[in-house]
Structure 1
């Protein structure tokens, strides 16, 4: 093996360990992460709601022309998938995914990991769906730039929801200010 034996842990999956992110927030890093995830969630949904409201009140550039495109239910589906994936990711018990705390049932760890995979697949599917809608509905039909904004907002909503889920997962997995490590 290329790793020194002292640093080798047989439970590790990757050869190179993940870096330890401690940006200097000290004991408040969990709280900062939760607030940051909430801000990302709010900004993501706000951008899409802005596009939906703008679409509902859209006026054509000239009164003789109709409005070319509106935000419809098809545009909402990727955001709903990402939102469901985000909710499921954050409902999963992190200790069960890691297999810690001596859960007697090994199938519980497997089910938790499967549910985590499905929820991340929902978020990835929402992102892929929003990119597909942007390309197929807004870009290929060669609408003016003001209508392409609806597709850009859809993609930014899904990216924001995915980032929010990742930030919340990482911040909730870190040790909080109320956890104590007692070693003898």
Structure 2
């Protein structure tokens, strides 16, 4: 695939520029609240599973049989990785990743992009880890739906954290509604 010379910029890393959304006057505020809602929903679902696991009772009619599985440390690790990845991604200055705002040091742009990659790798690792925990700990042992919910809550937490990070990144990348265009 060749790029026409008129559109080619040797400083660009990606073929497609960052998205420029027009979602109305309060687009940035709506995006930030949506990301916060996704973040809260993500953590609520996993904490709900952890609380249910802590208060799980033996099956009815069998008082001597303990619950077969509980949420343990292995269940918490993927969510912690995704949370760290979300923090890393949203701590990066968006202009530095784009190479704008007069950042003359090319190494600074490269380091910002590497830092962004590490953040996305942490989030992808968290999602992959939650799927692995779901399959290895809950699905392969053929537990009832009551217990497999713990694994599904873990996966949904990581998916919602990824979506929250993406929505927050995009909403912080759009122009603010408080920008003024002053010209003399």
Q: Structure 1 length as normaliser, TM-score?
A: 0.90
- From 27, 31, 34, the counterpart of 2:32: 34
Deviation, 1:180, is 3.2
Change (3 A) 1:182 1:3: farther
1:58 match: 56
Q: Structure 2 length as normaliser, TM-score?
A: 0.90
CA RMSD of aligned residues (A): 2.1
1:76 match: 76
Q: Distance in 2 between matches of 1:182 and 1:171?
A: 24
Q: Distance in 1 between matches of 2:16 and 2:91?
A: 29
Deviation, 1:38, is 0.1
1:46-65 deviation line (CA, Å, top 9, x unaligned): 00000000000001113131
Gaps of 5+ in 1: none
Q: Distance in 1 between matches of 2:105 and 2:15?
A: 28
2:146 match: 146
2:113 match: 113
CA contact 2:21–2:174 (8 Å) conserved in 1: no
Gaps of 5+ in 2: none
Q: Distance in 2 between matches of 1:46 and 1:19?
A: 30
Q: Distance in 1 between matches of 2:38 and 2:17?
A: 27
1:173 match: 173
Return structure 1 stretches of 4+ with deviation > 6 angstroms: 1-6
